[in-house]
């Protein structure tokens, strides 16, 4: 029943999106940042409805750790399609997600993603992947945060997959804060019993900001492992809250 409700809502939302695209395009012609902000407000509202219909109860910890006046690099583990709705409804700043290039081919969804400054990564082409990272660097310099899941794919195992170090170049080159994000139990909404959606309690914790300039040479050399270790500690700590 929850799956049907979510699908029906998405159909309605995509129909409503057609005139909204035009409105957002017009706003963008005059003020790009205003377009991103209004697009994010619309998408967040849609995600809140998806979470409500799905029966997702979300506990957010550490939101006060996110700097409000600067762009940051969010680094998170990745367990579910529901990670994005859960996170997007709790972040306080304008943020684009880095996602796989295949999503750029999906009608309606890809349009909203472009409005939101999302980046599309080609994981099989190193040259194109580098270009995407460079776009991420420019995006942070322009004041838009970037959200990345360095595991590269959804992982349902207890232990995280190795983090891809290239994801951290955005912080290294801009000096922006890295915000570790630990997402727990999101795969219980859908992936653990696909194709059905079930109510679940999801925990999201935002760790304290990590500035590259404050790290030692050894920590910078293995920045992915260092941040992953912090996320692992948060995941272990939050197991008792699920």
Contacts 24+ apart (CB under 8 A), 50-54: 50/6, 50/9, 50/10, 50/85, 51/82, 51/85, 51/86, 51/89, 53/2, 53/5, 53/6, 53/9, 54/2, 54/6, 54/82, 54/189, 54/197, 54/199
Q: Give the model confidence (pLDDT) of 169-192 as tens digits.
A: 999 999 999 999 999 999 999 999
Domains and CATH numbers, the chain: 56-241 (3.40.1130.10)
Q: Rounded distance, CA 170 to CA 134, Å?
A: 8
pTM of the complete model beyond 0.85: yes
Q: Give the model confidence (pLDDT) of 69-116 as tens digits.
A: 899 999 999 989 999 999 999 999 999 999 888 888 888 889 999 999
Residues 208, 49, 237: CA angle, nearest 5 degrees: 30
């Amino acid at each position: 029943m929850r799956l049907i409700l979510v699908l029906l809502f998405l159909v309605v939302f995509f129909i409503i999106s057609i005139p909204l695209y035009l409105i957002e395009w017009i706003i963008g012609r005059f003020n790009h940042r205003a377009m991103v902000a209004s697009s994010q407000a619309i998408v967040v509202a849609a995600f809140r409805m998806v979470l409500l219909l799905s029966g997702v109860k979300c506990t957010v910890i550490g939101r006060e750790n996110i700097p409000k006046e600067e762009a940051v690099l969010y680094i998170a583990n990745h367990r579910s399609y529901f990670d994005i709705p859960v996170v997007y409804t709790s972040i306080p700043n304008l943020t684009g997600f880095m996602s796989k290039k295949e999503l750029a081919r999906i009608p309606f969804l890809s349009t909203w993603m472009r409005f939101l400054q999302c980046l599309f990564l080609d994981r099989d082409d190193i040259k194109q992947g580098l270009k995407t990272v460079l776009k991420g660097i420019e995006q942070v310099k322009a004041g838009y945060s970037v959200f990345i899941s360095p595991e590269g794919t959804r992982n349902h195992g207890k232990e995280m997959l190795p983090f891809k170090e290239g994801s951290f170049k955005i912080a290294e080159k801009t000096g922006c804060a890295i915000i570790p994000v630990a997402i727990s139990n999101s795969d219980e909404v859908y992936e653990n019993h696909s194709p059905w959606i079930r109510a679940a309690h999801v925990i999201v914790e935002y760790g304290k900001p990590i500035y590259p300039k404050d790290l030692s040479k050894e920590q910078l050399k293995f920045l992915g492992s260092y941040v992953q270790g912090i996320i692992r500690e948060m995941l272990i700590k939050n197991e008792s809250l699920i």
